[in-house]
Structure formats: structure tokens, C-alpha cells
Amino acid sequence: MLMFSKKATEISTTQIVDKIESAVLDFVKPYGFKKHGRTLHRFVSGDISQVIHFQSGMSTKGMKGLLCVNVGIRIPECSERTFSPTKDKKYYQEYECTIRSRLGIVSGKQETWYDLRKKTDKIIKSIIDELDQYVLPAYEELNSRDAILTHRKDYPLLDNMHHLVALEECMIYGYLGNIEKAKELFEAYYKSAVDDYNDKMQNGMQYYLEKGNRIVYMGQVITAEKDGYITLRGANHAHIDYLDELAVSLDLR
């Protein structure tokens, strides 16, 4: 465990994160959030999860002593890919959400990794300020399926999975019993997936490499002879195969 020295007293990163999480919990508890390990969680509309998660950096990736805060919303049918989802847990994790982001990004900047060697009170204030200004208002707005259908696109910085919107709206309409609308949205999403696959097969996609760097893609090994963009040829059909299977399991075809 990484230890920091401060006035001859060693304080573990675990203790620092405990203090940060405790302060944030005090702030969001009036909104109905409860603590589960490193996750603060609440249910809205019965089974929709809203999550705040504290993630410590991995020492194996040179990130020890750093902390980020993930946020997310889980709509059961979108996560489980079924029109009849279950609510079988006291809480759900941020990685189970399909509307996901991270502090820093939600306010229009780069993702923030807080250096735990710096003043804890300043870190707490920064986290609470960003949650208060950008996350909680979105959570209060996106508090039901109807609200998510209407307003999800109003919060693009909260939604790094925005490319799945049509598919997830299909799942919500299916859950609500509007199968015709679900079919319409599914076929629109399916067509976009096929169009994207065909475009990559025909035109490839541009990827930036610095001189000497190498990339392996679809069986191709490419080493850059100079700085610049290269064209990667090929595409993976697995997502379309998955959608074909999903359509059958949902009785959409």
C-alpha cells in the first residue's frame, strides 16, 4: 500500500479515500444515496440506478496515489438486453451502467485524476462542486424512463455510450410494451451498424501514429515510417452477429 508522509505521520491512500468518500456521502445523502463499498448508489423510479463510484489508480499502470470519480445510470432492460429485467441486487456498480462518464469530462474538460498527495479538503471541494453543478442536476432530470427518453440527449457529456442511444431506446420502449416502436428503433440502429461496417470494409478508418510506433489491427501489423495518419482496412462483424441474435431473443423478427 502506498504511504504518504505528512508532518511525520503516515496516512494511507485508503484512509484518504475514506475521508473523501465520507464527505461526498454527507453531501449526497439527502438525495437518497447510500454507501456500498466505494460506490454511492440510489434507486429512482423503483429500479433505475444512479451511481457515484470512487476508483483508485492501479499501481501497475503507474497510477498509484491517484483517484477518479465515475458516474453512471443503469436502466435495467438496457443493461440486461431484455424486455423483462430483474431487480435482484441492493445496488449496482458503475460498470453495469450504460449511461456513463467521469468527473472532469462531465464539465467539458479532460477526465480528472486527483492526486491524493495534495490537500484533501481541496479535492473534496472540487468533487462536490462538480457533482453539484453537473451531475446531480442531470440525475434529478433523468429520474424515470420517460425522462430518459426525452432528455438523455441533453446531457452528452454524461453519456460516453451515446452511440447506443437508439438501441437502448428500443429496449426501453420494449419494456414499456410499445413493441412497434421498439422494432422501428432496432431496425434503425441495425442499419446504422451495417452501414458503419460496410464503410470500414470499403474505406477503412484513419488512425494517427507517430514515427516508429506499431499497431496490430485485424491481422495487419503496421509500423509508421513517419508521423501521420494511416488507413486501417477491415471491420469486425461480431456486433452485427450479436444484433441478429438479440433480435431473435426479443422476438423483434
Per-residue pLDDT tens for 124-166?
999 999 999 999 999 999 999 999 999 999 999 999 989 999 9
| Higher per-residue pLDDT: 74 or 9 | 74
What are the two backbone dihedrals, phi and then psi, of residue 191, each rounded to the nearest 5 degrees?
A: -60, -40
Q: Which of 9-18, 173-182, 221-230, 236-245 has the lowest mean pLDDT?
A: 9-18
Query: With bands split at pLDDT 50, 70 and 90, how would you rate the model's confidence at 7?
Result: very low
Residue range 183-233, pLDDT digits in tens: 999 999 999 999 999 998 888 888 888 888 888 877 778 888 889 888 887
| Higher per-residue pLDDT: 242 or 65 | 242
Sequence-separated (6 or more) residues with CB below 8 Å from residue 207: 215, 217, 229, 230, 231, 232
pTM recorded for the entire structure: 0.86
Q: For the chain, what percentages of helix, strand and coil (3-state, to nearest 5) are there?
A: 45, 25, 30
Nearest to 171 by CA among 48, 10, 17: 48
Q: What is the mean pLDDT of the chain?
A: 92
| Higher per-residue pLDDT: 2 or 221 | 221
Which residue intervals of the chain are DSSP H helices? 13-28, 76-80, 120-130, 136-141, 145-151, 165-176, 179-203, 238-249
What are the grid coordinates assigned to 186, written together?
432496432
- Cα separation of the two ends of the chain: 53
